[in-house]
Amino acid sequence: MPIKLGQQHARPLTTQEAFAHCEKLAKTHYENFTVGSKFIPKDKRQHIYNIYAYCRFVDDLGDEAERDRMALLDQWEAEVKLCYTSAPRHPILIALKETIAQFQISQEPFLKLIEANRMDQHTSRYPTYDDLLYYCQHSANPVGHMVLYLFGHRDEERQRLSDCTCTALQLTNFWQDIARDFKKGRIYLPLEDMDRFEYSEDELAQGVVNQNFVRLMAFQVERARALFKEGLKLVEKVDGLLKIDLRLFSMGGMKVLEAIEKNGYDVFRKRPTLSKLAKVRLMASAVARL
């Protein structure tokens, strides 16, 4: 179905109805870990749902809208700005306006996510790792900043460590979804690395897993793992239950990297994911560590 913007109900939704809309959206999409877990304080959980719903919808505009994606993204940006000037009409933004007002979140992270999806419309290859990091600065890192705002953290050091974790999660998702992304016409492996390890796009198209691909993927996995390890320093710089959620997401991401390794780096025949049992074990481990 085409994705539409603007008012989608016969009457404007109440704030509580908009909250329910965001919660339902957050709970019906697959993620490596449940959005808004029990380790998020109850008074913050709804705002996590609101932020997730916003991020999910922007990604859907960039990935799933049948046509006029750039125009839809432009319209969505105009609607987002209404959160700061008047009254938005979309259910997600009705909810998000409450989050923005309560925690004084600037427009920047929300607009960066829109820009990342604009990039997706005209960029399908990344010549260098720095190019890919620039994309992650827009597609992933703003989410961490939003979450930190909910807990009153605005300093550069916490944001830097959050960026390490968010970029690592984004890279892990790229390595997890190499086959899926290629079917969409996208390659997130830096082209300079493909050249360095002598692995061609033609081989990627055929799902070839040879020694060169193994070396290429081992390099990328270690790159993401190093970012996770640096980002884990954030756990000691936050309080309360947020520590558990931060550790849980980092450990979960690193477990996906381990799954890629255990599969012999073959991400074409089997997509590396975490089972429910693995999630439970990680959750127990995160609680025990803290």
Q: What is the pLDDT along the chain (290 residues), one digit of tens a residue?
A: 344 565 455 567 899 999 999 999 988 864 544 444 566 788 899 999 999 999 999 999 988 777 789 999 999 999 999 999 999 999 999 999 999 999 999 999 999 999 999 999 999 999 999 999 999 999 999 999 999 999 999 999 999 999 999 999 999 999 999 999 999 999 999 999 999 999 999 999 999 999 999 999 999 999 999 999 999 999 999 987 788 888 888 999 999 999 999 999 999 998 877 655 555 554 455 444 55
Nearest CA among 148, 116, 139 for reference residue 234: 148
User: Residue 58 in contact with residue 89, Cβ under 8 Å?
Assistant: no
Q: Tell me which residue has tokens 């209404």.
A: 82
* DSSP sequence for 165-186: HHHHHHHHHHHHTHHHHHHTT-
Q: How far apart are CA 209 and CA 103, in angstroms?
A: 47
Tokens of 60: 């859907």
Q: How far apart are CA 122 and CA 115, in angstroms?
A: 11
User: Residue 127 in contact with residue 191, Cβ under 8 Å?
Assistant: yes
Question: Whole-prediction pTM value?
Answer: 0.88
The letter for the amino acid at 27 is K
What does the CA dihedral 28, 74, 5, 137 come to, rounded to 10 degrees?
10
What's the angle, vertex CA 225, arms to CA 224 and CA 226, rounded to 5? 90
Q: How far apart are CA 175 and CA 164, in angstroms?
A: 16
Helix or strand or coil: residue 5? coil
pLDDT for residue 37:
56
Nearest CA among 68, 46, 69 for reference residue 57: 69
pLDDT for residue 181:
95
What does the CA dihedral 275, 277, 280, 285 come to, rounded to 10 degrees?
-100
How far from each other are the two terminal CA atoms of the chain, in whole angstroms? 45
- What residues have CB less than 8 Å from 251, skipping those under 6 apart? 282, 285, 286
Q: Tell me which residue has tokens 């996906």.
A: 256
- What residues have CB less than 8 Å from 54, skipping those under 6 apart? 92, 93, 96, 110, 113
Helix or strand or coil: residue 207? coil
pLDDT for residue 7:
46
Torsion region of 155: left, alpha or beta (phi above 0 gives left; psi -120 to 50 gives alpha) = beta
DSSP category for residue 33: S
Tokens of 23: 């919660």
